[in-house]
Amino acid sequence: MKLKTALQRTSLLVLCFLFFGLHLYAHTINYALEKAPAGNVFWYYLKLGYMHILPEGFDHILFVTGLCLLSDKVSTILWQATAFTVAHSITLALSMKNLIVAPSAVVEPIIALSILFVALENMMIEKLSPWRILIVFMFGLIHGMGFASALNEIGLPPNKFFLSIFSFNVGVELGQMTVIFAVFGLIILPFHKMKNFKKRVVFPLSIAIASIALYWTVQRVFFV
């Protein structure tokens, strides 16, 4: 019951944060691609989205890795990944349209906390519950704002806004799928039948992820 209450409060906090998001800036314009062919724009932002996960998005890699550790079923992880993708796609588009935007000084610590939350949950519960999907969706909304902050540095061509957003999201999704299948291929499938798998694999990995996320949280709150 305590965990369920904590999850409910987390969901409410994220929703309130999104509702009261500050309208601070509009997206910048990428004039270099304004007259480029649609195919060039698609591949440019697809590669940008992929690279934002691999190799540049270490925080997102840890978040996705944390999602993989409580199940040995790819379908279960893909459901979580889908919820995450839908959520970050929504806030990425809304943020780039300047409809719901928050400062990176607020978004980045929450992203670090989301990684910490998932890692701690991996050690506290035995199996996934429906609440996990909702929490992943809520955190995906926050991660989408983080993607928007990074994408805003590059800018979007004004006449190809939706194509750019779509291809960037496809790149992010491909990056996430790469991480998921790497974790399953290197960790879950070879070792999930090991005796005390959770104690010998899930706990050490989750502790490492939680430690890094806690460091990031402190760093992003007090030193950035």
193-216: pLDDT as tens digits:
888 899 999 999 999 999 999 999
Region 13-41: mean pLDDT is: 62
The pLDDT score that the predictor gives to residue 158 is 79
Region 94-99: mean pLDDT is: 85
CB 174 within 8 A of CB 188: no
In a domain, 38, yes or no: no
Task: State the residue range of the domain holding 136.
Answer: 2-18+48-222
Checking if the pLDDT of 69 tops 80, the result is yes
User: Could you tell me which residues are beta bridge partners of residue 156?
Assistant: 29
Please give the model's pTM, rounded to 2 decimal places: 0.84
Of the candidate ranges 25-29, 44-48, 190-194, the one whose mean pLDDT is the lowest: 25-29
* Burial class of residue 163 (count of CB atoms within 10 Å of its CB; 0-12, 13-18, 19+): middle
Amino acid letter, 114? S
Checking if the pLDDT of 85 tops 50, the result is yes
In a domain, 130, yes or no: yes
CA distances (Å), 45 to each of 21, 39, 42, 163, in order?
Answer: 26, 10, 6, 9
Of the candidate ranges 10-14, 112-116, 145-149, 196-200, the one whose mean pLDDT is the lowest: 10-14
In a domain, 141, yes or no: yes
In a domain, 36, yes or no: no
Between CA 44 and CA 146 the distance in angstroms is 19
* Interacting residues of 146 by C-beta distance below 8 A, sequence separation 6+: 104, 107, 108, 111
Region 104-113: mean pLDDT is: 92
The pLDDT score that the predictor gives to residue 224 is 67
* Interacting residues of 122 by C-beta distance below 8 A, sequence separation 6+: 66, 69, 70, 202, 206
In a domain, 40, yes or no: no
Of the candidate ranges 4-13, 50-59, 93-102, 137-146, the one whose mean pLDDT is the lowest: 4-13
Radius of gyration of the chain (CA): 18
In a domain, 200, yes or no: yes
Checking if the pLDDT of 21 tops 90, the result is no
Count structural domains, the chain. Answer: 1
In a domain, 35, yes or no: no
- Smallest CA-to-CA distance from 173 within 71, 46, 57 is with 46
Three-state secondary structure call for residue 21: coil
Average pLDDT, the chain: 85
Question: Among residues of the chain, what percentage have pLDDT more than 90?
Answer: 56
CA distances (Å), 89 to each of 73, 146, 165, in order?
Answer: 25, 11, 8
* Interacting residues of 127 by C-beta distance below 8 A, sequence separation 6+: 70, 71
In a domain, 28, yes or no: no
* Burial class of residue 133 (count of CB atoms within 10 Å of its CB; 0-12, 13-18, 19+): middle
